[in-house]
């Protein structure tokens, strides 16, 4: 396990020279120049922004942050924890995400929903009525991607076939289509039908802001200032291979589309079993994010 910090700062549009000098003083100029994150950071003396990902133990990180604070520069930071393959292979339960930009879809494209079991205020519990609408033209060669706001997964036929063959539980494969066009024969909506209880209060890496005053399910966010560790008080014995979190993430008060003003809660996290992750690993699905889940026990305390 290794902890990193993303650092991003901006000195001004005409401050390319000053930015390079600051980085050189912290022995970070070469690292910043080589990083793909800074591909468009400098054009002559025009400066857009600088982004770096550094180990927390790296002394250059401390020097950079001190220098930025001394100079009164606004800086954005985000905590990032990287797990070894052994740590991930050993975890019984894991958060599953895709490290992709995502697809427009769902409420952003005028999706139809069932609100039978939804919160009347925030929309948590609203269910898209199949077929799911998604920007399938952006799938390319990907085997999986997610909707930008609601986080529903769209999977390729290859991945869908592997999930069926492995008899993974907690999901239903439903039809998906672009806003205009027929139901796709290349992709499916991986609908998560199993739900977990509320997380234990000892979790880290999440914050709650302006939660739904009616149900409390919507209004959760990744904090970025601590390691992401979702924690449960034990783990439900009836948990399936795929499970949606009780919590909804994102701003539930947004008006996402002029054609659909009724809120749908946001997006839910997905927590999967070791068995489910193994299917993805065997297919070598790229750009997946896995985070081990912590289990809170009265007798043994927190364990990964």
Could you tell me the residue ranges of all domains in the chain?
A: 2-82, 86-303
Higher pLDDT, 291 or 18: 291
Residues 189-218 have a mean pLDDT of 97
pLDDT of residue 300: 43
* Residues ≥6 apart with Cβ < 8 Å to 301: none
Residue in 76, 36, 53, 95 with CA at minimum distance from that of residue 245: 95
Cα 6 to chain centroid distance, Å, stands at 16
H/E run at residue 292: strand 288-292
Confidence of residue 41 (pLDDT cuts 50, 70, 90): low
For the full predicted model, state whether its pTM sits above 0.75: yes
**Which of 82, 84, 65, 55 shows the shortest CA–CA distance to 26?**
65
CA 95-98-101 angle, 5° bins: 140
Residue with tokens 């290349």: 186
More confidently predicted of 45 and 2: 2
Cα–Cα distance measured from residue 151 to residue 105, given in angstroms and rounded to the nearest whole number? 9
DSSP state of 55: E
CATH code, residues 2-82: 3.30.70
Cα–Cα distance for residue pair 166/242, rounded to 1 Å: 13
DSSP states of 147-161 as a string? BTTT--EEEEHHHHH
Tell me the pLDDT band of 100, cut-offs 50, 70 and 90. very high
Cβ atoms 256, 104 nearer than 8 A = no
Residue 259 has pLDDT above 90, yes or no: no
Distance CA 133, CA 259 (A): 14
Q: What does the pLDDT read at residue 67?
A: 95
Partners of residue 5 on adjacent β-strands: 54, 79
Q: What is the DSSP string of 218-272?
A: S-EEE-SSS--B-EEES--TT--SEEEEEEEES-TT---BTTB-S----EEEEEE
100, two tokens: 């992709």
């Amino acid at each position: 396990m290794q902890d990193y910090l993303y650092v991003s700062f901006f000195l001004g549009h005409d401050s390319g020279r000053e930015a390079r000098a600051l980085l050189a003083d912290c022995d970070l100029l070469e690292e910043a120049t080589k990083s793909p994150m800074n591909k468009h950071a400098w054009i002559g003396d025009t400066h857009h922004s600088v982004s770096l990902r550094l180990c927390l133990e790296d002394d250059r990180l401390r020097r950079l942050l001190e220098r930025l604070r001394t100079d009164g520069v606004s800086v954005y930071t985000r905590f990032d924890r990287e797990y070894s393959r052994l740590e991930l292979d050993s975890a019984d339960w894991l958060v599953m995400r895709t490290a992709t930009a995502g697809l427009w879809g769902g409420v952003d494209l005028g999706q139809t929903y069932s609100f039978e079991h939804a919160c009347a205020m925030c929309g948590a519990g609203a269910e898209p009525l199949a077929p799911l609408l998604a920007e399938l033209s952006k799938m390319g060669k990907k085997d999986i991607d997610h909707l930008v706001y609601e986080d529903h997964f769209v999977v390729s036929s290859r991945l869908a076939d592997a999930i069926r063959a492995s008899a993974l539980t907690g999901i239903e494969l439903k039809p998906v289509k672009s806003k205009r066009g027929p139901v796709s024969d290349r992709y499916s909506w991986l609908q998560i039908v199993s739900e977990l209880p509320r997380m234990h209060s000892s979790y880290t890496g999440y914050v709650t802001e302006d939660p739904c005053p009616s149900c409390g399910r919507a209004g959760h966010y990744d904090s970025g200032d601590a390691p992401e560790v979702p924690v449960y008080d034990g783990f439900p014995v009836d948990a399936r291979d795929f499970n949606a979190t009780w919590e909804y993430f994102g701003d539930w008060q947004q008006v996402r589309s002029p054609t659909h003003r009724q809120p749908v809660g946001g997006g839910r996290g997905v927590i999967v079993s070791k068995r489910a992750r193994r299917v993805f690993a065997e297919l070598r699905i790229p750009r997946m994010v896995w985070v081990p889940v912590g289990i809170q026990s009265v007798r043994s305390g927190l364990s990964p």
